[in-house]
Amino acid sequence: MFLAALLACGLAGAACHPPGPLERARVSFHYDGDTLRLADGRRVRLLGIDTPEMNYHDGEPQPLAEQAKARVAQLLPRGGTVQLARDRQPHDRFGRALAHAFRADGTSVEETLLREGLAVVFILPPNVALADCLLAAEREARRAKRGLWVLPDYQVQPAGKVPADGRWRRVRGRVTSAQRRDDWVLLKLDRRVQLRVARRDWAAFAPADPGAWRGREVVARGKLKSRYGRPQMRLWHPAQIEVSK
């Protein structure tokens, strides 16, 4: 019933197209909603999205994790063909191949998951070729309150009241401090949640002067983790922070 309802959403307005040449490969296994194994043994991490964790070795699957995995298996069946398009980086630090995935008819798998509310956008520079169209697909799902966007964890919450449990969160707070330290730009929300941006990534953020962020109320998004006993969130791309209205 869940997948049938998602199929009814359709793909009107699909906008994500391959950013480069396509490589045809065969799917052999689905780890979760954003990671595949190919028949040649390669493990592929889909670019531009993050789906709920299956938590195979640590607890129960996160909400809608199984549905995201099932939807990818439906879009890209085992034994079937996937078309892969590279971005800027061929592999991640875990040795996984990085690629955008398309069905034989040209449909973007990442865009489909985002429109149906089974994934959130996760842009990891320098792999930014499809950032705009993926963000547009996520905004549509948010407006329509599909999938993940009706769950409590995906609603905006005050920075001072959100547990640093490693889950994906949206937190709102006022920037109470902003500084450059070594290779990082550090923004603190409500004197509690620290946002960490590597200097190499900060060039894409505006305003460029960290001090100009002080006093602004913002909404940041990402996985909120505990670092040295304090809640911290790593930001890679400007899409992860917006000035609150």
Mean pLDDT by 10 residues, the chain (245 residues): 40 76 98 98 98 92 97 98 97 96 97 98 96 97 98 94 93 97 97 97 95 97 93 97 85
* Active-site residue, from 53, 111, 138, 140: 53
* Nearest partner of 52 among 129, 154, 124, judged by Cα: 154
Sign of CA dihedral 105, 41, 128, 179: positive
pLDDT for residue 13: 53
Which amino acid, 42?
R
pLDDT for the residue 14:
61
Write out the two tokens for 15.
């906008």
> Chain centroid to CA 79: how far?
27
pLDDT value at residue 141: 98
- Residue 160 has a pLDDT of 87
- Taking CA atoms, 79 is separated from 37, 69, 73, 164, in Å, by 11, 16, 10, 40
Among candidate residues 71, 96, 146, 170, the one labeled active-site is 96
Q: Is-cis flag, bond preceding 158, omega within 30?
A: no
Active site residue 172: no
Q: What is the pTM of this model?
A: 0.91
Does residue 53 have an active-site annotation?
Answer: yes
221 within 8 A of 170, measured Cβ to Cβ: yes
pLDDT value, residue 2:
38
Question: Are 208 and 202 within 8 A, CB to CB?
Answer: yes
